[in-house]
Amino acid sequence: MKSTILSLFLTIMLSTSLCHASSFSFDFMSDLHFWEDRWPEEALALSSAQILKEGPGDFLVLGGDYDNFPECEKALERLLLKPARAEGKPYPCVVLVGNHDPAGTANQPQANPTRNADQPNIAHIIERNKSLPFNLKHGPASRSIRQDYQPDGAKWTTFSFDYQNCHFIVLDVYPVKMLTVDDALIDWVEQDLQATTQPMVFVFCHQPLKFFHGVEALDETPQPISLAGGDMPRGDCERLWKAIKADSRVVAFVCGHTHLYGIVQDGNLWQVCADREWTASRMFIKFFVDGEHATARVFWWQEATGKYQPVDLILR
């Protein structure tokens, strides 16, 4: 009888521990665009204040397009990361690369020389990711073709890691050739998915893989993203999507870039594209994982009310 009671007690304790271990949240924002005075800081200040009010997640993912990452990083530290740490949240920051981050790609450098004088974005992004407390599994270093990635920087911008019951994959489609999904990247994703034993997976990339209609505001008529304007990367996007979709554990492919919010559901797999955090949109998304369930809470800034409007999206 005592043995049965002890066994039952241990089972309850283990179940409680597992339940607690698989309940967490993380935050995502993209397209902060620190190429213009005043606007980026004003938008980030509002988003940061709301994240601190809601309670920071276990970590933050930045979806790329900073234009001037050193300036962006300083503001992020001051407005969000340092205050979060002061509240006892370590709040590590995972940094993706966007199409305006490699050398020579930033917006209007001539008009904003003090903010955008060929800033070494990739070097700073690599150093930030090197400081992550996770056990990173690096992507193929052979993809470090562009000068600002050499000698082996691409392995710090494409990587994966585990956190609690989830596996996270971070992709960079710029180190080989701008806006390109190449075979080495797809092969690595397939191998990485085969190797992980985690029951849930999230994939992040700056640009979407699937075409969609999106909006900048809740009451807008959806508009198509621009294929001619490069809203989707070149290369074999369909093969990469199929590789991700083939693994039923993948919950969502999370991206930015288009400056539109839009979702695509393809079977069990979601593509969630965030609108820009920059200027009037000021969007960020909180992802909640609770056991085998996942929800995305999209925070929309409403200019008319001066408040954020949360909208929930049930993913699993």
| The pLDDT value given to residue 58 | 98
CA distance 265 to 66: 28
The overall pTM is greater than 0.75: yes
CA torsion through residues 154, 117, 47, 217, sign: negative
Q: Collect the ranges in the chain with pLDDT lower than 50.
A: 1-20
CB 94 within 8 A of CB 61: yes
The b-or-e profile of 189-204 (16+ CB within 10 A means b, else e) is bbebbeebeeebbbbb
Structural domains of the chain, with CATH: 23-314 (3.60.21.10)
| The pLDDT value given to residue 21 | 55
Please report, in angstroms and rounded to a whole number, the separation of the first and last CA atoms in the chain. Answer: 40
* Segment 134-140 long-range contacts (CB within 8 Å, at least 24 positions apart): 134/92, 134/161, 134/162, 134/163, 135/161, 135/162, 136/160, 136/161, 137/161, 137/192, 137/195, 139/171, 139/172, 139/185, 139/188, 140/184, 140/185, 140/188
| The pLDDT value given to residue 103 | 85
